[in-house]
Amino acid sequence: MAKDGERERPRQGREVVLPATNGSVDVLAGGGPEEQQLRVVGTALRHQEPALSGGFSVPTRHNQKLEGLLERIRQDAELHQLWRCANVNAIDRSHITDHGPVHIRIVANIALRLLRLLFDAGIEAGVVKDHGLHRTDAEVIVVLAAALHDIGISVHRHQHERYSLVLAAPKARDLLSTLYDEPERTIIVSEVLHAIVAHDWEETCLTIEAGCVKVADALDMSKGRSRIPFQAGKLDIHSVSAAAIDRVIIGKGPQKPISIAIEMNNSAGIFQVDELLKRKIDNSSIRDYVDVLASIEGDSETRIVPVYNH
């Protein structure tokens, strides 16, 4: 894994969030220690997923509890299988975008980056203000919430946030069992569960941590990430607009703590920004701290759909 502030060399067919040298974050194709093929009988799609150990990582910055959490996550066979079951329901059965281990790792990294940018601007986490815990604990909350936010898709995509709560409550306690004693463990679990249910775009975020997870979930949209339905032959505004996003860059803004730059190859990508990302930001706890700029790179737009027949 690259040190904070350094880039890793991308590997074909994967995507990871990496810190850039200018203090921003690029969402790039590549990355991950080991890979294995997910094979499901009868599936029409094949996609790469990280191996059971070593595939989930974020820059810990010497946060010992966060390091301990990552180690527990890497060794948890049940959680890894829940991620894979969620992806079977998402990709193979529902023909929507990746919601498995790669998505989870990207969301965890983006959420942590957003939280740290807010810390740099002097904005305090809910668990610090309201429970007297520490910023390091807030980092544990956003990473664990990101790791568990979509496991409910293993049950069903519809209302998956609620199913995620059912599965996440005991799993969060288990993962934190060696890291926190009571009553701190119950505080962390409660904050994690709030962030999970609040990643639904209609649900109100009551904490900065929940807002970071919610917005991070919507930012997993860069090149290669949201194109599975389009490449599988699904042709609608969701798949076409997803194919129009090339890159997402997250960094410190000139006027607000967070700047999000979205590079597109076609103006169809505006749908992703305006209809999907915007509504999550607008209904988050961090809306006042985020600037979004979407632009088309180059002099001409890429032709995504040569002919449309209905």
Task: Write out pLDDT tens, residues 258-298.
Answer: 999 998 888 877 877 887 889 999 999 999 999 999 888 76
Asked if residue 306 is part of any domain, the answer here is: no
Asked if residue 4 is part of any domain, the answer here is: no
Quick one: tokens of 69?
């959490």
Asked if residue 301 is part of any domain, the answer here is: no
Model pLDDT for residues 14-59, shown as the tens digit of each residue: 333 433 333 444 443 333 334 343 333 334 445 555 443 457 899 9
Q: Where are the beta strands (DSSP E) in the chain?
A: 15-19, 25-29, 35-38, 47-50, 245-251, 258-264, 290-296
Write the DSSP string, 42-62. T-S--EEEE-TTT------TT
The overall pTM is greater than 0.85:
no
Give me the number of domains the chain comprises.
1
Domain housing 192: 15-296
Asked if residue 36 is part of any domain, the answer here is: yes
Asked if residue 221 is part of any domain, the answer here is: yes
CB-based contacts of 168, cutoff 8 Å, min separation 6: 148, 149, 151, 152, 192, 193, 196
Model pLDDT for residues 185-229, shown as the tens digit of each residue: 999 999 999 999 999 988 999 999 999 999 999 998 876 555 444
Q: Collapse the DSSP code of 251 into the 3-class scheme (helix H, G, I; strand E, B; otherwise coil) and give the result.
A: strand
